[in-house]
Amino acid sequence: MKKVSIFGATGSIGNNACKIINESSSRYDVLVLSAKNNYKKLAINSKKLNARYAVIKEKKYYKLLKAELDGTNTKCLCGEDELLSVASLKTDYTIASIVGIAGLKSAYNSIGNAKNLALANKEALVCAGKIFMKRAKKLKTNILPLDSEHNALFQIIQNDNINSIKNIVLTASGGPFWNKKIDFNKVSIKAALQHPNWKMGKKITIDSATMINKVLEKIEAAILFSLDLDKIDIVVHPRSIVHGVVNYIDGNSLMLFSKPDMKIPIKYALNWPNRVKSNINNIDLKKIKSLDFFDVNAKKFPSLGLFKYLYDKKIYYNRLIALNASNEIAVDCFLREKIKFKEITKIIKNTLLKINNKNPKNINDVFDIHEEASKLSNIYVNKLST
C-alpha cells in the first residue's frame, strides 16, 4: 500500500484526490488529511479514507471536528504547528493543494519526507521556487506538478535533455472575458467567478479572469523545467483540451491533450511513474474535428505586461514573492468588494516597483519579503479606496 497525505483535502484538488483514492482504497494508506476551516468535509473525507490524522488549521473548529470523528480511528489535530509536525511523516505521495503562500510551509516541510510531492500550489513555486527545487533535489523528493498544463509538460518532457527543447507553450482558456467586450471597471464578482471550462476554487478562478494565472504559471514552468521566461509562450485555447506543447530543436513538437478534468493529472501523479486504468474517456478526434488557438491580447489583459518587471535577475526572486503577495491581497480585496477588478493588476505593479531589492536566501527570507509586500499592497489598497 502507498502512504498518502493531502494538505488541503477539502478544496477542489484535494477533494478530487480523495475521490480518486476512495475509488481504489486498497492501494492507499491515508496518513494525513488537512483543511483550513471546512471541518465537515474534512470529517467526511477522513471517515471515507480511514485517515490516521485529520488536521484543521483554524483552532475554533477543532472541537466540532473531534465531535464529527468521535468513535473513528482518526486522530484530530489543529493549527499550523501540528500540521507541520505531521508533514514530517514519511509518505510515498504527498499532495500539496493548499492555495497561496499559506501552503508553502507544509509543502516545504514535506520535502525529504515525501518520496513524491504532487504540487498543486503554484504560489509555493512562484515564491520559493529556487530554494524549493534545490531542497527537493538534495533530499531526493520528486516534484510532480498537478497544475494541468505543467502536468502535461512534465509527461512530455520526462528525462529529455533541456538543451533539446526550443521552447514550450502553455495553453490558456482565456477565462470568462477573453473574447467578450467588457469594461474591466465594471466587472462583477459573479461574472469573474464564471469560468467556462474548469470548476475551481475562488482564488484561481479570479486569477484566470485577470489572466494572472498564466503569469504565475509561466513562472511556475520556468522553475519546474529550468527554462528562461522567454522560452515559454502562452497561447489561448478556449476549449482547454490541449494542455501543453513542447517544441524541440529538431522541428518535432509534442502536445498532450485530454478532457479538462483535474482527476486526470491527479490520478497520473498518484500512480507515477506508472499509468493505471481510468473511467475517463480519451478525446475522440472525430468528434473534436478542429482545435482553435489564438494569440493572447496583452492590451486587454494588462497582467500579461507585468513580465517587463521580471527580467532583471538581480531582483527577480524578490519580485516574484511581491507579485504573489500583492495578487493574494488584491484578489481577496476584490472578493470583498474593496477594489475594482481593474485595480488588481495596478496593485501588483505598484508593489513590484516599491519592494526592496533584496533576493531571498532561505525560506525565512521568503516570508519576510512576503510580509513586506503585503504591507505595501495594503497601503496602496487603502489609498485607492479613499
Residues that bind Mg ion (CB under 5 A): 147-149
* Shortest distance in whole angstroms from residue 28 CB to Mg ion: 25
Q: CB of residue 242 vs Mg ion: minimum separation in angstroms?
A: 13
Nearer to Mg ion, 148 or 351 (CB): 148
Query: Whose Cβ is closer to Mg ion: residue 141's or residue 148's?
Result: 148
C-beta nearest to Mg ion: residue: 147
Residue 55 or 221 with smaller CB distance to Mg ion: 221
Closest distance to Mg ion from the beta carbon of 115 (Å): 24
Q: How far is the CB of 285 from Mg ion (least distance, A)?
A: 23
The Cα-based distances of 298 to 8, 230, 351, 352, 370 in angstroms read: 33, 15, 20, 18, 27
CB of 205 to Mg ion, least distance (A): 11
Pairing of β 91-96 and β 114-119: parallel
What distance in Å separates the CA atoms of residue 367 and residue 96, rounded to the nearest whole number? 18
The three three-digit cell numbers of residue 82, written as one number: 501540528
What's the rounded Cα separation, in Å, for the pair 126 and 135?
15
Q: Which is nearer to Mg ion, 68 or 149 (CB)?
A: 149
Strands in 253-257's sheet, in edge-to-edge order, are 253-257, 242-248, 165-172, 232-236, 294-295
CA–CA dist 201, 40 (Å, integer): 18
CA dist 141 and 67 (Å) reads 36
Cβ neighbours for 336, distance < 8 A, ≥ 6 positions apart: none
Please, which residue, 175 or 360, has the CB nearer to Mg ion?
A: 175
